[in-house]
Amino acid sequence: MTANLLDFDLEGLAFFCEGLGEKKFRATQLFRWIHQRGMSNFDDMSDLAKVMREKLKAHAHVAALPILSQQISKDGTIKWLFDVGGGDAVETVFIPEDDRGTLCISSQAGCAVGCRFCSTGHQGFSRNLRTSEILAQLWFAEHFLRQYLNQTERVISNVVMMGMGEPLQNYTALIPSLKAMLDDHGYGLSRRRVTVSTSGVVPMMTRLSQDCPVALAVSLHAPNDALRDNLVPLNRKYPLNELLSECTLYLNKAPRDFITFEYCMLKGVNDQPAHAQELVTLIRHHASRGLRCKFNLIPFNPFKESGLLRSDDAAVEAFASVLIQAGFVTTIRKTRGDDIDAACGQLAGDVMDRTGVAQRIAQQRAVPIQWTDRKIS
């Protein structure tokens, strides 16, 4: 087995190159070929010495994930389903907007947190993705999109870790992938434009603020512990007061001066005016200790197994106005890619038993999508 170079951030790649007897700075050139130019064929990396290229061919490779499907929505949203082996598949979604291009990336196959309203949670946990599997989603999407949109400049300006899985429960693989996203020799994304979304793994939030502070979104979904225990089972381990205190601390290191609170609107469950009032009281208490935040209300993307329903538009608006009147910046997430069921963080079309995935993968394998290196003229 040779090493997949998508497993490394620049520091890791430098270490790998040293192991091959190459100078550290060669890693920078290699890193740029891979991430900035989307190359995987070492022979095409013309400024690397032939000897180094031969060593790389013997000991390394750059491998994309096999694509099971690609769906393009009328609004330009693109969803890919990638095969990560063993009957597991993960989704990646590209969301184009006027002023940015956002890629929503998965961090795990399945998820152990088991939130009631989340289709990934209903699948259960299969395994952590490797760094290469996290980064391959960006690597592929960026270079595919440049070609597809006929653009030479960067297409993806924002990354949100809001696909399948709880990124802070896959911390070891997450950090090098974030570093490669931020690296000027990699994707050069601003820390403010890379967002980790978490259901509230408090100790790992502390570590993230130390190791690689990026923008933080916290999935709140409830204004009190009783309800949150029920919707986000991790709350039993890290209850709201602890979570919100950690959010306040995170701001000391964060690249943005606020935390985004995500709140999935579930009809009759957490969407009543009384919930909004309770939320205001809770957040005001923490705001008096320094917490700064914005709310993002997410219309629930329903799926049968959840037994839950999407809140009516009027309820969402009424909820938003309570927050706004209390002085909190509040947005309601637009649903995108509805026709391909690609709302970010919501992979409901794919609530599936593992056998279902395996079958689908077998079918899709029959029609592989070709992916070739682009040569630089």
Tokens standing for 272? Answer: 């009543």
Smallest distance from ligand SF4 to CB 122, Å:
8
Q: How many CB atoms lie within 10 A of CB 252?
A: 9
Smallest distance from ligand SF4 to CB 297, Å:
15
Tokens standing for 278? Answer: 């309770």
344 is catalytic: yes
Three-state DSSP class for 197?
strand
* In contact, 118 and 149? CB cutoff 8 Å: no
**Contact residues for ligand SAH (CB under 6 A)?**
117-119, 162, 166, 197-199, 219, 262, 264, 298, 300-301, 345-346, 348
**If you search the block for the tokens 């997430």, which residue do you land on?**
333
262 is catalytic: no
Q: Pick the closer one to ligand SAH by CB: 141 or 347.
A: 347
**Which residue in 162, 166, 116 sits closest to 303, CA to CA?**
116
Smallest distance from ligand SF4 to CB 211, Å:
20
Tokens standing for 226? Answer: 């009783």
Among 10, 115, 182, 308, the residue binding ligand SF4 under the rule CB under 6 A is: 115
Is residue 121 a contact point for ligand SF4 (CB under 6 A)? yes
Q: Pick the closer one to ligand SF4 by CB: 4 or 120.
A: 120
Residue 307 CA: distances (Å) to CA of 108, 231, 287, 321:
24, 12, 34, 27
* In contact, 260 and 195? CB cutoff 8 Å: yes
Which strand (E) or helix (H) includes residue 356? Answer: helix 354-365
φ, ψ for residue 158, nearest 5 deg: -135, 140
* In contact, 96 and 153? CB cutoff 8 Å: no
Smallest distance from ligand SF4 to CB 219, Å:
6
Which region, left, alpha or beta, applies to residue 116 given φ > 0 means left and ψ of -120 to 50 means alpha? Answer: alpha
**Chain position whose Cβ is nearest to ligand SAH:** 345
Which of ligand SAH, ligand SF4, none does 77 bind, CB closer than 5 to 8 A by kind? none
Smallest distance from ligand SF4 to CB 221, Å:
8
Tokens standing for 210? Answer: 């130390």
Which of ligand SAH, ligand SF4, none does 114 bind, CB closer than 5 to 8 A by kind? ligand SF4
Q: Active-site residue among 17, 111, 118, 344?
A: 344
Bridge partners, 12 (sequence order): none
Is residue 111 a contact point for ligand SF4 (CB under 6 A)? yes
Which of ligand SF4, ligand SAH, none does 301 bind, CB closer than 5 to 8 A by kind? ligand SAH
Q: Pick the closer one to ligand SF4 by CB: 166 or 246.
A: 166
Q: Pick the closer one to ligand SAH by CB: 39 or 196.
A: 196
Is residue 165 a contact point for ligand SF4 (CB under 6 A)? yes
Q: What is the DSSP letter of 126?
A: E
**Which residue in 357, 345, 292, 362 sits closest to 119, CA to CA?**
345
Q: Indicate the residue type of 121.
A: G
Among 199, 270, 301, 311, the residue binding ligand SF4 under the rule CB under 6 A is: 199
Tokens standing for 220? Answer: 């709140």
Smallest distance from ligand SF4 to CB 163, Å:
8
Interacting stretch for ligand SF4, rule CB under 6 A, among 38-46, 109-117, 132-140, 303-311? Answer: 109-117
| Residues marked as catalytic | 91, 344
Please report, as ranges, the residues that interact with ligand SF4 according to CB under 6 A.
111, 113-115, 118, 120-121, 165-166, 199, 219
